[in-house]
């Protein structure tokens, strides 16, 4: 069994209605503090993150907007290029600096080649010697390269926009990885921009091969789903975004978390929260998971569709593998001297494909998976943030997921007998909306290259992640173990 959990002891201050003459230093003013914790997929206390990166610890990370203007080289970077004679050669006629060595890191210059160029900071280039050209001729300033350009540390949902051109009259292409749009990025003989959406937390790469491509600028949008959302009717908080204030080491609610009220003010607060935060964008393309929460703490969750022709495919990742968390604190006394504790729990049910063991003695090919719901697969349902119960389910018209792309065909080269591997699959974790009783019965059909189909019945449970390992025997008999 594979376990996921993070337990955090974090404090933030809730915004409240403040007196006009309030000062935070006034001795008769009080403020509400909340301790935030998270229970894991099975209730353990193992301090690790989920692959989809939606534990509260990960939600503290900031994913700001970034911009790289590769057509404007600062004077300091030119000085660094000139000084790094072992890394760069200069052509006076073309006003171009060309890499004199292979790069597999950020671009550097300076005496000894240890100074990172500021205008390409954090961008990683992997290219052979002579395949990176920094053009500074004043007319067509750019970086021309053949190889791989990596933009690290991105969050699913951010957009990457790249301005590019083919340096010749012919059309050239780059291949993008970890994007939800087309992986093909086209460069013509005029400057154009291409935008792609980050599919999963991690890096995005652009591979220019076999011919070089001019890059003029790169921009990354700010992640909009940082932190978590909070509702408190008594304090007029409605889907207010809570983000981590790294300077003061506290959660910041909205634009102002230093609001106070008189210490003798009575009354009760009902606080509801969910993570990660999502703005309500029903018209997004593709539609993102949408959250709508009412004052009584009911969250309606709808999975994104990912523009796939099979409508049931959108439930595969239950909205981009979002690890939906929920918490509540009811009847908390406004004048309490104790912190209110919000304990976040996992709302979805999850399954993970783990290792594949090859006992065939030869090349193993698994030609697809089909995942069926015994009853239904759900597109939308309502979660009670106080009890964690799901209701008002809306199911997909199609009752199965046919060979989703990450699992459509897995071909494993010859391995030693009984050798176990973890196959390269971009999304091995699948999240589902559970049924009204918190469970979801499924059938997994596995097809092999011997044209046989093996079926396995499993039952997922809300708040738990089940890892299923596949073993294939010499006669291509398939066994799934938990």
Q: In which band, very low, low, confident or very high, does the pLDDT at 258 lie, cut at 50, 70 and 90?
A: very low
Q: Which of 47-61, 252-266, 330-344, 422-436 has the weakest average pLDDT?
A: 47-61
- Are the beta carbons of 394 and 458 closer than 8 angstroms? no
Which tokens sit at 25?
């230093």
Q: Which of 256-265, 309-318, 466-475 has the lowest mean pLDDT?
A: 309-318
CA 49/CA 479 separation, integer angstroms: 29
Confidence of residue 11 (pLDDT cuts 50, 70, 90): very low
Q: Number of C-alpha atoms within 13 angstroms, CB side, residue 25?
A: 0
If you average pLDDT over residues 296-305, what whole number do you get?
Answer: 72
Mean pLDDT of 104-122: 95
What does the pLDDT read at residue 42? 60
Q: Are 95 and 216 found together in one domain? A: yes
- What does each C-alpha distance from 72 to 69, 217, 235 come to in angstroms? 6, 9, 48
pLDDT in tens, 23-76: 444 457 666 666 677 777 665 433 333 334 456 667 777 888 999 999 999 999
Higher pLDDT, 85 or 338: 85
Q: Which of 220, 248, 282 is the last residue of a domain?
A: 220
Distance separating alpha carbons of residues 182 and 179, to the nearest angstrom: 7
Q: Compute the average pLDDT of residues 318-332.
A: 72
Q: Are residues 471 and 435 part of one domain?
A: yes
Q: Look at residue 285 and tell me if it is in a domain.
A: no
Cα dist from 20 to 17, 248, 351, whole Å: 9, 25, 52
Task: Give domain status of residue 176, yes or no.
Answer: yes
Residue 90 has pLDDT above 50, yes or no: yes
User: What are the structure tokens assigned to 481, written together?
Assistant: 């173990």
With pLDDT > 70 as the criterion, what percentage of the chain qualifies? 68
**301 lies in some domain:** no
Q: Is residue 187 part of a domain?
A: yes
Q: Which residue has the higher pLDDT, 399 or 120?
A: 120
Residues 195 and 154 in one domain: yes
Number of domains present in the structure of the chain: 3
The reply to whether 47 and 130 lie within a common domain is: no
Q: Of 192, 220, 248, which marks where a domain is finished?
A: 220
Instruction: Give the model's pLDDT for residue 187.
Output: 96
Shared-domain flag, residues 55 and 70? no
> Is residue 290 in a domain?
no
Beta strand 66-69 pairing with 202-220: antiparallel
Is 32 within the bounds of a domain?
yes
Q: Lowest-confidence range among 173-187, 188-202, 205-219, 251-265?
A: 251-265
Task: Output the pLDDT for position 416.
Answer: 64
Whether residue 27 is found in the same domain as residue 70? no
Q: Give the residue among 130, 99, 134, 133 at the shortest CA–CA distance from 113.
A: 99
pLDDT of residue 27: 57
Q: Are 17 and 94 in a shared domain?
A: no
> Residue 425 belongs to a domain with what CATH number?
2.60.40
pLDDT tens readout for residues 382-391:
999 989 999 9
Q: In which residue are the tokens 């007029």 written?
A: 236
Can you tell me the distance from the alpha carbon of 56 to that of 274, in angstroms, rounded to the nearest whole number?
A: 10
Residue 192 has pLDDT above 90, yes or no: yes
**Which is higher by pLDDT, 150 or 394?**
150
Indicate which CATH number applies to the domain containing 204.
2.60.120
Look at residue 314 and tell me if it is in a domain: no
The first and second tokens of residue 418, run together, are 């009984």
What angle is formed at CA 380 by the lines to CA 222 and CA 347, rounded to 5 degrees?
70
401: confidence class by pLDDT, cuts 50, 70, 90: low
Instruction: Kindly report the number of other CB atoms within 10 A of residue 444's CB atom.
Output: 21
pLDDT score of 315: 36
Spell out the residues 6+ positions from residue 98 whose beta carbon is closer than 8 angstroms to its own: 88, 89, 90, 91, 130, 132, 133, 134
Rounded average pLDDT over 304-332: 56
pLDDT at 8 over 60: no
pLDDT of residue 427: 55
pLDDT at 412 over 70: no
Same domain, 115 and 74: yes
Write down the pLDDT at residue 290: 63
Q: Which residue did the predictor score with more confidence, 345 or 242? A: 345
For the chain, what is the total number of helices (H) and then of strands (E)?
Answer: 2, 38
CA dihedral for 75, 79, 84, 89, sign (positive or negative): positive
90 shares its domain with 37: no
Q: Is the pLDDT of residue 79 over 90?
A: yes
Rounded mean pLDDT of 132-139? 95
Predicted confidence (pLDDT) at residue 318 exceeds the cutoff of 80: no
Residue 454's domain comprises: 349-378+399-481
Closest CA to 273 of 309, 313, 250, 241: 241
Rounded alpha-carbon distances, angstroms, from residue 97 to 70, 103, 123, 255: 13, 14, 18, 46
Indicate if 128 and 8 belong to the same structural domain.
no
Residue 17 sits in the same domain as residue 140:
no
pLDDT tens digit sequence for 142-184: 999 999 999 999 987 899 999 999 998 899 999 999 998 789 9
Q: Does any domain span residue 167?
A: yes
117 & 206 share domain: yes
Q: Which pLDDT score is estimated for 283?
A: 45
């Amino acid at each position: 069994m594979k376990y996921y959990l993070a337990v955090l002891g974090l404090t933030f201050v809730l915004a409240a209605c403040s007196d006009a003459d309030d000062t935070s230093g006034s001795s008769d003013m009080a403020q509400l503090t909340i301790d935030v914790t998270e229970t894991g997929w099975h209730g353990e206390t193992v301090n690790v993150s989920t692959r989809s990166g939606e534990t509260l610890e990960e939600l503290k990370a900031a994913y700001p907007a970034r911009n790289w203007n590769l057509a404007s080289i600062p004077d300091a970077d030119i000085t660094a290029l000139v000084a790094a004679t072992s890394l760069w050669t200069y052509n006076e006629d073309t006003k171009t600096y060309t890499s004199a060595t292979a790069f597999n890191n950020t671009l550097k210059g300076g005496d000894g080649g240890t100074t990172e160029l500021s205008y390409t900071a954090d961008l990683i280039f992997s290219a052979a010697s002579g395949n990176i050209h920094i053009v500074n001729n004043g007319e067509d300033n750019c970086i021309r390269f053949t190889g791989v350009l990596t933009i690290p540390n991105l969050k699913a949902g951010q957009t990457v926009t790249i301005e590019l051109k083919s340096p010749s009259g012919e059309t050239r292409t780059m291949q993008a990885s970890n994007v939800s749009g087309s992986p093909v990025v086209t460069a013509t003989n005029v400057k154009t921009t291409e935008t792609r959406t980050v599919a999963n937390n991690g890096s995005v790469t652009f591979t220019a091969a076999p011919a070089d491509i001019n890059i003029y600028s790169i921009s990354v949008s700010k992640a909009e789903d940082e932190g978590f959302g909070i509702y408190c009717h008594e304090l007029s908080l409605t889907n207010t975004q809570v983000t981590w204030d790294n300077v003061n080491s506290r959660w910041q609610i909205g634009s102002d978390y230093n609001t106070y009220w008189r210490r003798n003010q009575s009354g009760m607060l009902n606080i509801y929260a969910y993570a990660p935060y999502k703005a309500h964008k029903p018209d997004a393309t593709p539609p993102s998971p949408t959250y709508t929460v009412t004052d009584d703490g009911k969250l309606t969750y709808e999975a994104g569709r990912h523009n796939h022709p099979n409508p049931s495919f959108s439930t595969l990742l239950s909205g981009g593998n979002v690890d939906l968390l929920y918490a509540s604190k009811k009847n908390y006394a406004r004048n309490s001297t104790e912190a209110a504790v919000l304990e976040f729990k996992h709302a979805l049910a999850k399954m993970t494909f783990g290792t594949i063991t090859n006992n065939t003695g030869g090349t193993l090919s698994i030609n697809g998976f089909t995942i069926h719901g015994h009853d239904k697969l759900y597109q939308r349902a309502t979660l009670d943030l106080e009890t964690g119960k799901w209701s008002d389910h809306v199911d997909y018209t199609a009752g199965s997921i046919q060979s989703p792309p990450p699992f459509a065909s897995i071909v494993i080269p010859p391995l030693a007998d009984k050798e176990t591997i973890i196959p390269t699959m971009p999304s091995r974790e699948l999240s589902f909306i559970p049924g009204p009783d918190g469970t979801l019965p499924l059938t997994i059909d596995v097809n092999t290259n011997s044209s046989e189909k093996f079926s396995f019945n499993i039952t997922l449970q809300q708040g738990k992640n089940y890892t299923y390992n596949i073993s294939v025997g010499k006669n291509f008999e398939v066994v799934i173990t938990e």
